[in-house]
Structure 1
Amino acid sequence: MTLAVRPGVSGGHYLEDHVVGQVVCSDPITFSRETVARYADAVGDSSSLHDPNIPGSTVHGPLIQAMAISWMVNTGVAARVLAELDHTWHYTKPVRIGESVTFRVTFTRIQRSRSRAKGLVHRTIDVLGADGDVLQHATSRILVEARTAVDDTQERARTAIGTAEWARLLAGALERDDQFTRLTSTWDGTIGFGIGTETMLLRVYKGRVLDVGRRMPHGPTFVVHASERTWVELVTGPENDFTRRAMCGQVQTTGDAYEYLRLNRTVVAVIDVMRALAREEEK
């Protein structure tokens, strides 16, 4: 779902104002020759790679990051950030001087701290060219101030993909799902879901989910890996397009390839249940 800054949110986004799957986009931002020249002068960069007087020169990576963070702060999306914990930026394509870009932020996880007065927000940041092509992208974790110190873990669990609370809800929903129990009625094994840097395992035996957790005694039969954002889009998007994403390289698998292919319909059915859980949270 693509949203502007949420109506009624004044003074910036508190932890409670973030929603898993929410997307916030900037207006087009142009990196003019003057802007790049001032930045180069400020940091003492005389490299021809970033010389605004040379056609085809590129914008400094740190300048793009700074502009993205400045936009997020000015619009309130990051006004309540207490700390940047992780920030990984990938420069897949250059941004040329004079080019206009759009920043797109997707929230992929919200997790309240033990103190309840703050919490972690996982997000991805894309730098889009004029044609919508992704020029650069980043992942980050930020610590965000909460409006009130309450425990809303259970209320948010249905979209807290990859957490223990979410996995327990998923296991219960799978055992009530006729398609899942039918597809796994004769199967004995462990299905893993790699969500970003974390993995959650489901121990399945003849249509039942016996256990969930990060580890199992004999390990997973196979693991389906994707980024946090891919999982969020799969679970909160308009349709279950797992097969398309797998064919496009957004999903990878490890472990027993034969069993994964044999249980491909089961994986799709599990994602259908994930999507149903997320829809329950929206009600």
Structure 2
Amino acid sequence: MTTPFKPGRRLLADADALAAASPLALADSVAEAIGQELGQAVRLVSAELETNRAVQAEFGELVTPSAVVTAVQSQKGRELRTEVTAQLEGNAAYSASVRFAFAEAIDNTDEVSELFCPGSAGWNSELRDRLRDDSEFSTLIEAYDGTIGLSIGGRPVHIRCYRGHVLEVVSRSILGADFVLSIPGDVFIDLMTAERNRFMETAMSGEMRSTGSGYEYLRMTSALMRIIDHARAMAVTAGYAGSESNLDTNLQVA
């Protein structure tokens, strides 16, 4: 087994532009190139393609690929799962993204931190402990009785709150979330590795989308920003983002 790549690792830096064919053919070519960088032992287990349906790349047009590792997780101690989001950029109007998952058999999981996979059970547990110890976050939710929902790279995170207290952070709460803020995996990595918390700019740019109660989403905006502060601190702890100097000074990195 090769040393696992950490989230935030950029791939395809030296990749040649691809001649546009069908979106599926493009995705297949990109998957092969990513697989070669991850190691010959990996196998592709899933791929989700999302294209800009307004404009399609013309046949033969050059499309530039880029990719970033968004999550790494050990499954049952026997398999390493690496998630990668690839972007395909053609002319100014065409774009597509593909979310891949690759798997590789492993013998040793010591180098795979639970914090490498946002939304995993270990990541949720760490976030829960941080939020419970954060007096500022308690103040932000002191009048809130509900569930804040996130979807990070497709993994749901439900933060159940009751009047200043964090009851649980789990993949799915019994009654569901009041709203769900969907953050694509590569967008989440950008939030984690930016020099400062860019939550508001990212939200205003349309890179994240909210479903459910718009009222509760707006009411919890400051709480969401604080959650991102803690997620950024967790990324520093895991060793795949920046340094403590880029974090909110009120946060302590474990």
The answer to whether the aligner puts 1:254 opposite 2:211 as a matched pair is yes
2:84 matched to 1:123? yes
Q: Deviations over 1:230-283 (max 9, x none)?
A: 223222333321212212222222232222212211111111111111111218
| Distance change in 2, residues 1:200/1:73 (3 Å) | closer
Contact 2:85 2:97 in 1 (8 A): yes
Match for residue 149 of structure 1? 108
- Alignment match, 2:172: 215
Mapped to 2, the partners of 1:130 and 1:180 lie a distance apart of: 43
How big is the shift at 1:66? Answer: 4.2
SS of equivalent residue, structure 1 residue 267: helix
Report the counterpart of residue 27 of structure 1 in structure 2.
Answer: 14
Given that 1:221 and 1:259 are in contact with CA atoms closer than 8 Å, whether structure 2 keeps it comes out as yes
In structure 2, what residue type is equivalent to 1:105? Answer: A
When the two chains are superposed, the root-mean-square deviation of aligned CA atoms in Å is 2.7
Offset from partner CA, 1:136-173 (integer Å, 9 cap, x none): 32111111243x423556xx223421111111100111
1:22-70 CA-partner distances (Å, limit 9, x unpaired): 11133352557xxxxxxxxxxxxxxxxxxxxxxxxx5344543343244
User: What displacement does 1:127 show?
Assistant: 2.0
2: CA distance between counterparts of 1:214 and 1:31?
Answer: 38
Contact 1:222 1:254 in 2 (8 A): yes
- Partner residue of 2:68 out of 87, 94, 106: 106
Could you report, residue by residue, the CA deviation over 1:154-204 in whole angstroms, capped at 9, with x for unpaired residues? xx2234211111111001111222321221233322111122333211111
> In the comparison of the two structures, how many residue pairs are matched?
238
Q: Answer whether contact 1:59 1:94 (CA < 8 A) is retained.
A: no
Quote the sequence identity (%). Answer: 24
Q: Which one of the candidate residues 215, 229, 236 is aligned to 1:272?
A: 229
Match of 2:250 in 1: none
Choose which of 195, 204, 225 in structure 1 pairs with 2:152: 195
Aligned-residue offset at 1:107 = 0.9
Does the CA-based 8 Å contact 1:121-1:141 persist in structure 2?
yes
Taking the aligned partners of 1:29 and 1:223, their CA distance within structure 2 comes to 37
Q: Equivalents in 2 of 1:252, 1:31: separation in Å?
A: 30
TM-score (norm 1): 0.73
Which residue of the partner structure matches residue 182 of structure 1?
A: 139
The alignment partner of 1:170 has SS state of helix
1:50 aligned partner: none
Q: Unaligned 5+ residue runs, structure 1?
A: 1-12, 33-57
Question: 1:254 aligns to what SS in structure 2?
Answer: strand
> Structure 1 residues 78, 265: closer, same or farther in 2, change over 3 A?
same
User: What amino acid is the match of 2:50?
Assistant: H
Please say if residues 128 and 169 of structure 2, whose CA atoms lie closer than 8 Å, have aligned partners that are also in contact.
yes
Residue number in structure 1 paired with 2:98: 138
1:167 counterpart = 2:128:
no
Alpha-carbon distance in 2 for matches of 1:89, 1:219: 27
Tell me, yes or no, if the aligned pair for 1:161 and 1:232 is still in contact at 8 Å: no
- SS of equivalent to 1:229: helix
For residues 103 and 122 of structure 1, what CA distance do their matches in structure 2 show?
A: 16
Cα deviation 1:105-156 (Å, max 9, x = unaligned) = 2111111121x3421111111123487x86332111111243x423556xx2
Task: Report the AA paired with residue 81 of structure 2.
Answer: L
Contact residue 28 and residue 100 of structure 1 kept, 8 A = no
CA 97–193 in structure 1, closer or farther in 2 if over 3 Å, else same:
closer
TM-score (norm 2): 0.80
Which amino acid in structure 2 is aligned with residue 119 of structure 1? L
- Look up the equivalent residue of 1:72 and give its one-letter code: I
- CA shift at 1:209, angstroms? 1.0
Return the letter of the residue paired with 2:159: L
Unaligned runs of 5+ in 2: 244-254
2:14 maps to a residue whose letter is D
Q: How many Å separate the matches in 1 of 2:32 and 2:68?
A: 17
